[in-house]
Amino acid sequence: MKLSILIPLFNEAESLQPLYDGIASVMKANNYQYEVVFVDDGSTDGSFAALQKLHAQAPGIVKVVQFSRNCGKSAGLSAGQEIVTGDIVITMDADLQDDPIAIPDMLKKLDKGFDVVSGWKKVRHDPVLTKNLPSKLFNFVTSIMSGVKLHDFNCGFKAYRAAAFKGLEIYGERHRYLPALAHWNGYKVTEVPVPHHARKFGVSKFGAGRFLNGPFDLLTIVFLRKYLKNPLHLFGRFGLIFVFAGLAVLTYFGVEWTITRQMHIRPLVLLSIGSIIMGIQFISIGLLGEMISHASPRKHFTIREVLK
């Protein structure tokens, strides 16, 4: 069995050598066959130079992908899907907060029949107000909406069977919801507590924008799960509701005019006409969605160089 350690990174030059040393130590102690794939997400701090040294230090083991610009964590994981060759894929962050010592425990969980093992930072060494509390709320809401009961969806430390990992469509901000996506693909998902360390170098690369983007991303993937192939099923239902509501009101006024031969322009008449127009628009959006529903996912990154 071969392990692929996949590590997307952005401006983590100081962490790379100690991170690799920690991984190599665990691999050697357990006699694992392995490779380490680093994806440099357009770093500007000398990270790629550090990766070149690691590649020269461990040829055939360390592989490096360099993006031409910063594209985000999902793009890094997506690029890694095309590079990794192991039977098991371990994803980690490069900031030394994830401890490779937990990898054997993750593999034991996989041996029990699971396809995805998500790390659970049971004891977190992050700021409470900006990290811990928002994370608890995020995980609670995501568990309810996705149907997957995990304590820590957003932990970057995960273990996948290769088929489960390569079957994920990762783009945009989907890296936050990979356990849910794997579950929806029919794979068995579980979690295991993992050690978590305080950041030693640099600062977090995720800003306050994640608080706004997270809920939108969750709504997006829930929508895509249910209506990706048949968007008309959603938009058509709303469209029919608006159309029938408008027609019902207009029918009432039509009957009233037939009996009394009197007709006055009332606000309700205008609202009913607007309702019909909105209904037609919803149906039209659904039809347009049907036309593009089979478009393939986008790859929002450009690879500058690959070291194998």
pLDDT for position 44: 92
Phi-psi bin for 46: left (phi > 0), alpha (psi -120 to 50), beta?
Answer: left
Encode pLDDT of 10-54 as tens digits.
Answer: 999 999 999 999 999 999 999 999 999 999 999 999 999 999 999
Global confidence as pTM? 0.75
305 beta partners: 66
Residue 58's φ and ψ, nearest 5 degrees, are: -135, 70
Encode pLDDT of 110-146 as tens digits.
Answer: 999 999 999 998 877 666 555 667 677 777 777 777 7
Contact predicate 84/162, CB 8 Å: yes
pLDDT for position 40: 96
- Helix (H) / strand (E) element for 114: namely none
Helix (H, G, I), strand (E, B) or coil at 303: strand
Q: For domain 2-227, which CATH number applies: 3.30.750.24, 3.40.50.10490, 3.90.550.10, 3.30.200.210?
A: 3.90.550.10
